Amino acid sequence: MENLGDAEFFTILATSLEATRQASSDFDEDIDEFPEQNGSIDHIPDGPFNIEEPLSPEEKEELIGGIQRLPRQYLRGMLNIINPFSQQPSNDDSEEPSPTLALRQLDSYVKRKTHMVFLIEDQPGQEQF
């Protein structure tokens, strides 16, 4: 993974998420409970990184780990972020979408949702699923 550029890493990640969606027969039923799942630039927190700076190998590992820890209900939110970037532009004059920007958005989404999920699970008196 260290040798993969953001474009190659994005392609592998997008393919893997889409395969997971296709394998989930009850995909639409589980997702309706989580309406706030859009991917926009507003979800990238202020931080010490440039949103166009390629992800480091450590950031890529953290992103994969975060995706693996998230419940399947958040799959649509992840797909909403990557789908606009994985679709090809309609004409040659269009600016090509940045896989690095998509990965930064996805990383922000995964971190927020992972934090929220584990915060809820750690609440005393809450039932464990």
The pLDDT mean for the chain works out to 75
Residue 41: pLDDT over 50: no
What is the value of pTM for the model shown? 0.70
| Mean predicted confidence (pLDDT) in 107-113 | 92
Residue 5: pLDDT over 50: yes
DSSP, residue by residue, 8-57: HHHHHHHHHHHHHHHH-TTHHHHHTT-------GGGS---SS-TTSPPPH
* pLDDT interval class at 59 (50, 70, 90): very high
* pLDDT interval class at 110 (50, 70, 90): very high
Q: What share of the chain is helix, strand, coil (3-state, %, to 5)?
A: 60, 0, 40
| Mean predicted confidence (pLDDT) in 28-47 | 45
| Higher-scoring residue by pLDDT: 49, 7 | 7
| Higher-scoring residue by pLDDT: 83, 26 | 83
Per-residue model confidence (pLDDT) at position 40: 43
* pLDDT interval class at 37 (50, 70, 90): very low
Residue 44: pLDDT over 90: no
